[in-house]
């Protein structure tokens, strides 16, 4: 839903706050409630519950997503949401203030990036702007950052994974075995093996360990180390 200040808004705005820290969810709930009086707010503490919330209600207008919560592996969680629910704007709300991480999030489809240190009033403004169709980032974010070819290539490769492949990759990053992944996804181990093979091919690596290392090196701002390794 896009807000229009020139016309009354009749529909209820629905927002999902996805963060594993109750205190952070409380602060974000306050920001959303004051920015959007009457909004329906749902909370999720991990990727699984976030997925359930989005599956249960197809009319979600906004997701506020933490990059570091159970089930989320850096950018793969954001990529998963953008591929699985491309119609829902996702704003990353993160403790990191690394400008390169912010830029990468916008590049892979985030509608905004709000550092957790942002004042409540500024959070309200950011939420309103995103629902009006704009992209919000801190004012001092350089819109043009140098692009590392190695990192850009890996980001493109990650973006080529299907939603199910991204889920499998996130589980691999958590150290899950094929049989554990199969049980959680309710598929056969053969299907999981096929997904893993496709992931390795798309990422251009030879083993699941290399896939996990490649992903981990571009998370948490470790871009220079990824390029040098």
Query: pLDDT digit string (tens) for 17-56?
Result: 999 999 999 999 999 999 999 999 999 998 888 888 888 8
Residue range 136-151, pLDDT digits in tens = 999 887 655 555 677 6
Say what the pLDDT of residue 124 is: 92
Question: Residue 1's pLDDT band (boundaries 50, 70, 90)?
Answer: low
Report, in this order, helix, strand and coil percent for the chain, each rounded to 5.
50, 10, 40
Say what the pLDDT of residue 148 is: 63
Residue range 66-108, pLDDT digits in tens = 988 877 766 777 888 887 888 899 999 998 888 878 888 887 7
CB 75 within 8 A of CB 161: no
CB 93 within 8 A of CB 114: yes
CB 92 within 8 A of CB 110: yes
Does the structural domain 149-228 have CATH classification 3.90.180.10?
no
Task: Give the DSSP H/E element, type plus range, for residue 15.
Answer: strand 14-18
Say what the pLDDT of residue 159 is: 79
CB 204 within 8 A of CB 81: no
Say what the pLDDT of residue 219 is: 57
Evaluate whether 14-131 and 149-228 have a shared fold: no
Cβ-count burial of 14 within 10 angstroms (0-12 exposed, 13-18 middle, 19+ buried)? buried
Q: What is the DSSP letter of 46?
A: S
Q: What angle do CA 24, 88, 31 make, to 5 degrees?
A: 30
Give dist(CA 136, CA 127) in Å, integer.
Answer: 8
User: What is the mean predicted confidence (pLDDT) over 108-125?
Assistant: 91
CB 88 within 8 A of CB 110: no
CB 170 within 8 A of CB 77: yes
Say what the pLDDT of residue 221 is: 44
DSSP secondary structure string for all residues of 64-123: EE-SSSTT--THHHHHHHHHH-TTS-EEEEES---HHHHHHHHHTT-SEEEETTS-HHHH
SS3 223: helix
pTM: 0.75
Fold designation for 14-131: Rossmann fold (3.40.50)
Residue range 185-204, pLDDT digits in tens = 999 999 999 999 999 999 99
Kindly list the domain boundaries of the chain, sorted by start residue: 14-131, 149-228
């Amino acid at each position: 839903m896009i807000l229009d200040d020139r016309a009354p808004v009749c529909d209820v705005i629905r927002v999902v706050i996805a963060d594993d820290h109750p205190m952070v969810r409380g602060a974000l709930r306050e920001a959303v409630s004051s920015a959007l009086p009457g909004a329906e707010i749902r909370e999720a503490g991990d990727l699984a519950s976030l997925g359930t919330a989005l599956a249960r209600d197809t009319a979600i207008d906004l997701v506020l997503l933490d990059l570091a919560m159970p089930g989320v592996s850096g950018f793969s969680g954001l990529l998963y949401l953008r591929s699985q629910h491309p119609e829902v704007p996702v704003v990353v709300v993160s403790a990191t203030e690394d400008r390169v991480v912010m830029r990468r999030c916008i590049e892979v489809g985030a509608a905004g990036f709000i550092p957790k240190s942002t004042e409540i009033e500024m959070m309200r403004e950011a939420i309103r702007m995103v629902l009006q169709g704009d992209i919000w980032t801190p004012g001092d974010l350089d819109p043009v950052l140098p692009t590392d070819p190695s990192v850009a290539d890996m980001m493109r490769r990650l973006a080529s994974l299907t939603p199910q492949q991204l889920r499998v990759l996130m589980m691999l990053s958590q150290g899950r075995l094929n049989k554990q992944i199969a049980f959680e996804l309710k598929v056969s181990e053969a299907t999981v093996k096929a997904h893993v093979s496709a992931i390795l091919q798309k990422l251009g690596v030879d083993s699941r360990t290399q896939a996990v290392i490649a992903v981990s090196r571009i998370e948490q701002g470790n871009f220079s180390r990824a390029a040098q390794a």
